[in-house]
Structure 1
Amino acid sequence: MKPVIIKSNEDIARMKQSGKLLARVFSALDDYIQVGQTTMAVNDFVESYITEQLGAVASTKGQYGYPYAINVSVNDVVCHGMPKASQKIKNSDILNVDITLKHDGFLADSSKMYVMPDAAPLARKLTNETYKAMWEGIKLVKPGVKLGDIGHAIQSYAERHGYSVVREFCGHGIGTEMHEGPDVLHFGQKDTGLTLQAGMTFTIEPMINQGTHKVKTLKDGWTVVTKDKKLSAQWEHTILVTENGYEVLTLRHDESLPCMPSH
């Protein structure tokens, strides 16, 4: 089990800066991403923006041997989708773009769903309800709360709306390393698990499926898809536990606390 690292005030200041830079990446991507573009073009844009415009590191690239700057997960892809020069974004697609950025030694990690103009109403609904499920977890964060409370809130919300929560992947502690302790499950029982303390930093990133929670990994060794080929959605933020609550370090310009994003 990886240790949980309580961040100093200096560490937190650096993480806040990384989070702000990552939010800027998504703002730029909002203006760039469109139907007809290839997912590899999106990857190249993000890598260039991070390195050339922000002077930071696109830290997904090279992480555990992964070759690209983003994960881009389209429709029934749950996570770790690989960008492709042959894959064009279609009018009806929903896609998750997951980016990690490193600046001044500290990481920020976030993902956002993009809904194309002709996406089906049920696809749009899944995307919106997944966003709300993430916030059901985030808004509980404060010292003294247990991680099981967060997982339970996310699972209860998702299942109440007829969806399932992927079990195989979870949120994680983050700082100078991509994956620190604790593991942040998006399902669970109240009053179980680690007790939160001020200075902890971790991601909350539920993957919510239209159908079964069961998934499988494709032959490329990275891409994870739903077993029943139904849609999946995910959102992610990096969270700081403050003395009396939480701060979302990767909060974007199109968000307030807590709310639905503008479309």
Structure 2
Amino acid sequence: MITTKSPREIDLMRKAGHIVALAHKRAKEVIRPGLNTLELDRACEKVILDQGATPSFKGLYGFPNACCISVNEVLVHGIPNKHTVLKEGDIVSVDIGACYKGYHGDSAWSYPVGQISEEAQRLLDVTEESLYKGLEKANAQYRLGDISHAIEEYVVEHGYSVPKDYTGHGIGSDVHEDPSVPNFGKAGSGIRLRAGMCLAIEPMVQAGKPQTKTLSDDWTVVSRDGSLTAHFEHTVVIGEDSCEILTKLQSEED
């Protein structure tokens, strides 16, 4: 069931989103060559707990950690551990969720580790921009498929691919709510967006072909051809003619 949120619920999600943004600020500060992904996870979790929230993902469907941390060819759901050590030139995607008084914020961001290649930087730039292309359609003047189409069109025209198995989603008192928000689709299709809907919009992009595979831990999803991947996500609330990004710091530019 697709729901719209009340002003009270949106206020709580705004707080949850702010906490997620603070955790991302901390992630950006600590990411460096030599850091292992468990240390990164713990740094982000500490911010969430210190703000009076709980990690949305810890225990969700049995996931063991606060954050999903995915390096290079890992698209999503990387499990933090002390053996995966970041090195110069890596891309690391950090997916963070926080629950505040029963409501969630969810945001993923992909970061460079030290100096990265021009190829890797272009993938990050295109994926991030595809998110904002989708957000331009995240208002009550459009349908859900307009968001999906805008993301896919931008990604494909820059020579990259969109995996079909993983999507964005509604969000509120549950991390994952209806509707699914694919990163591919037909303009003008799908449900009419309504003010008060809350969505987690999250382009996941691969430098090579779109096929993925899940590793033996039943969590870690990688590009099947080993190509680099990137992941950017914001939680937003739909407005009449624009959306409000809930998972950014107030000082950040729109």
TM over 0.5: yes
| Amino acid of the structure 2 residue aligned with 1:38 | N
Match for 2:38 among 34, 37, 40?
A: 40
**Structure 1 pair 158/189, CA: closer, same or farther in 2 (3 Å)?**
same
Alpha-carbon RMSD: 1.1
* Matched residue, 2:216: 219
Q: 1:154-182: CA deviations, max 9, x gaps?
A: 11100100000111000000000011111
Match for 2:171 among 150, 174, 184?
A: 174
Q: 1:5-52: CA deviations, max 9, x gaps?
A: 11011111111111111111111222222110100111111122211x
* Matched residue, 1:25: 23
Report the secondary structure of 1:154's partner residue. helix
Q: Is 1:78 matched up with 2:75?
A: yes
* Matched residue, 2:130: 133
Tell me, in whole angstroms, the C-alpha distance in 1 between the residues paired with 2:141 and 2:2: 15
Q: Is the 8 A contact 1:23 1:253 kept in 2?
A: no
* Matched residue, 1:111: 108
Count of aligned pairs between the two proteins: 254
Report the secondary structure of 1:164's partner residue. coil
Q: Is the 8 A contact 2:198 2:235 kept in 1?
A: yes
What is the percentage of aligned positions where both structures have the same residue? 37
Q: How does 1:234-249 map to 2 (within 5 A)?
A: 234-249=231-246
| Amino acid of the structure 1 residue aligned with 2:14 | K
* Matched residue, 2:158: 161
Query: Tell me, which stretches of 5 or more residues in structure 2 are unaligned?
Result: none
Report the secondary structure of 2:32's partner residue. coil
Tell me, in whole angstroms, the C-alpha distance in 2 between the residues paired with 1:45 and 1:20: 16
- What is the TM-score when the length of structure 2 is the normalising length? 0.97
Q: Is the 8 A contact 2:141 2:241 kept in 1?
A: no
| Amino acid of the structure 1 residue aligned with 2:178 | G
- What is the TM-score when the length of structure 1 is the normalising length? 0.94
Cα distance, 1:116 vs. partner?
Answer: 1.6
Tell me, in whole angstroms, the C-alpha distance in 1 between the residues paired with 2:218 and 2:81: 15
* Matched residue, 1:195: 192
Cα distance, 1:252 vs. partner?
Answer: 3.8
* Matched residue, 2:54: 57
* Matched residue, 1:260: none
